[in-house]
Amino acid sequence: MSHWLDSAHAELEKTLSEGGADFVQIQLLHRRAGGEARLLPLAMERRVAVLVNRPFARGGLFDEVKGKPP
């Protein structure tokens, strides 16, 4: 199962809850969408593999932390 829109997270969450997937590919660009707060724990609970589409926003997220202490 794969989707690239944050607006599909609710539908993906429903499908995961029903046990209808072996793996899910999602995009986690916008924290306000709640993907990491809801989908990742649910996938772990259901033992569903997760592939992150465009990890680190194609490198753009590194710009946000560049020069900041770890």
Task: Please tell me the distance from the alpha carbon of residue 9 to that of residue 38, in angstroms, as a whole number.
Answer: 9
More reliable by pLDDT, 15 or 60: 15
**Residue 69 belongs to a domain:** no
**Residue 42 belongs to a domain:** yes
Q: How far from 57 is each of 3, 14, 22, 27, 45, CA to CA, in Å?
A: 15, 25, 24, 9, 26
pLDDT at position 49 = 93
Residue 36 has pLDDT above 80, yes or no: no
Q: What is the span of the domain harbouring residue 37?
A: 6-56
Instruction: Write down the pTM of the prediction.
Output: 0.67
Task: Report the number of distinct structural domains present in the chain.
Answer: 1
Tokens 């989908």 correspond to 39
Residue 2 has pLDDT above 90, yes or no: no
